[in-house]
Amino acid sequence: MLLSEFDYELPEELIAQRPSDKRENSRMMVLNRDKHEILNKHFYDIVDLLDENHILILNDTKVIPARLYGYKDTGAKIEVFLLKERENKTWEVLIRPSKRVRVGTEIKISDELSCIVQMPLPDDGKWLVQMVYEGDIFEILHKVGNIPLPPYIERKMSNEELKKLDFERYQTVYAKKEGSVAAPTAGLHFTQDILKKLSDKGVEIGYVTLNVGIGTFRPVKCDNILEHHMDSETFEIKEETANLINRAKAEGKKLVAVGTTTVRTLESAYKMFGEIKACRGASELFIYPPYEFKIIDKLITNFHLPKSTLLMLVSALAGKDFIFEAYEEAIKEKYRFYSYGDCMFIN
């Protein structure tokens, strides 16, 4: 299967640079697979589309302020992008410009935080650094770090205005567990009020955690997609959620996954154990047509980049031809695309 089969042309003005005025006011395209029907609605209509015969599973990961700006002792400015925490205060990071550092280089971020370059890693320009600080690293990051927005969001705003907007809106209202460098963006449309209305209708809600890595921004580079290797992302399913899923599936209820990260968590767990159970693991699962889904039935997701693994995943669920028909309709109707954009419900 060729990468070119998942390409499409998107007018630049349809790339959302800001979130909608209110989370629930985003537009929502509904794909009815049984009827091969496309409907144009708003996200708040999700309350009318789900009932007691559905369970909703969301990813409660929290985006960390992973983009740090610091200086060498020479005064040279260096960007450190945190990717994954290891043991003993070491982190996998990206460094820009990397040619300005070597093993032993100290980068001062603030009075509370510095990092010392330990070694290059054999993986797409990653480095291992030793973080030097006292106290809680996440408290410090919230003081000195910046939310790592995707590269296609380009806004001319002051740093303070940017921080205020993105610290609030590039985060789901139910985010709890810090560890992601990108938001599970399908969940950005939910409000506490929407969640309460769904619960009042009998929709049971559960949570998993998958820490979204830098791979979500990286394009597929090989022409034959079967040669692509997914970045590893850690996930966790609590016993409460596992029990909810197993009971609901036994009762014939439909599982609605919120976001591709939730899909990959659940399908990865099933692949590992042949069932859903409380577990921790790492997912490298690459989902593309004609993958047969074992756990999820329906999906709430945003509109994805051309040639991306996320576009391949939704094509596996709804059918590639139907997805591309829907994307053509979305462009015609001027939907807003990508992280801060509108969403799709594959029903």
Enumerate residues 6+ apart whose C-beta is below 8 A from 107. 70, 71, 72, 78, 80, 95, 101, 114, 115, 116, 117, 129
For the stretch 287-326, pLDDT in tens is 999 999 999 999 999 999 999 999 999 999 999 999 999 9
3 state SS for the chain: CEHHHHCCCCCHHHECCCCCCCHHHCEEEEEECCCCEEEEEEHHHHHHHCCCCEEEEEECEEECCCEEEEECCCCCEEEEEEEEECCCCEEEEEEECHHHCCCCCEEECCCCCEEEEEEECCCCCCEEEEEECCCCHHHHHHHHCECCCCCCCCCCCCHHHHHHHHHHHCCCCCCCEEEECCCCHHHHHCCHHHHHHHHHCCCEEEEEEECCCHHHCCCCCCCEHHHCCCCCEEEEECHHHHHHHHHHHHCCCEEEEECHHHHHHHHHHHHHHCCCCCEEEEECCCCCCCCCCCCCCEEEEECCCCCCHHHHHHHHHHCHHHHHHHHHHHHHCCCCECCCCCEEEEC
Across the beta sheet with 204-210, the strand order is 37-42, 27-32, 343-346, 298-302, 254-258, 54-59, 204-210, 233-237, 279-283
Q: Record the tokens describing residue 27, joined without a space.
A: 């537009």
Average pLDDT in the 241-247 region? 98
- What does the alpha-carbon distance between residue 322 and residue 340 come to, in Å, rounded to a whole number? 23
Please state, rounded to an integer, the average pLDDT across all residues of the chain. 94
Measured in residues, the chain has a length of 347
User: How many C-beta atoms surround the C-beta of residue 200 within 10 A?
Assistant: 9
CA dihedral sign, ordered 310, 315, 317, 323: positive
Identify which of 335, 338, 22, 336 has the alpha carbon closest to the alpha carbon of residue 151.
338
Whether 90 has a pLDDT exceeding 90, the answer reads: yes
Q: How far apart are the first and last CA of the chain?
A: 26
Confidence grade of residue 162 (pLDDT, cut at 50, 70, 90): low
Q: Which pLDDT value is given to residue 122?
A: 87
**∠ Cα 298 303 309 (to 5°):** 80
Whether 157 has a pLDDT exceeding 70, the answer reads: no
- What does the alpha-carbon distance between residue 295 and residue 262 come to, in Å, rounded to a whole number? 11
Q: Which pLDDT value is given to residue 171?
A: 96
- What does the alpha-carbon distance between residue 273 and residue 267 come to, in Å, rounded to a whole number? 10
The region of weakest confidence among 27-36, 161-170, 232-241, 248-257 is 161-170
Side-chain half-sphere exposure of 289, counting CA atoms within 13 A: 17
The torsion of the CA quartet 331, 336, 339, 345, rounded to 10 degrees, works out to -70
Residues 276/297, Cβ–Cβ less than 8 Å: no
The torsion of the CA quartet 9, 11, 17, 19, rounded to 10 degrees, works out to -80
Confidence grade of residue 207 (pLDDT, cut at 50, 70, 90): very high
Average pLDDT in the 23-36 region? 97
Residues 193/256, Cβ–Cβ less than 8 Å: no
For the stretch 253-271, pLDDT in tens is 999 999 999 999 999 999 9
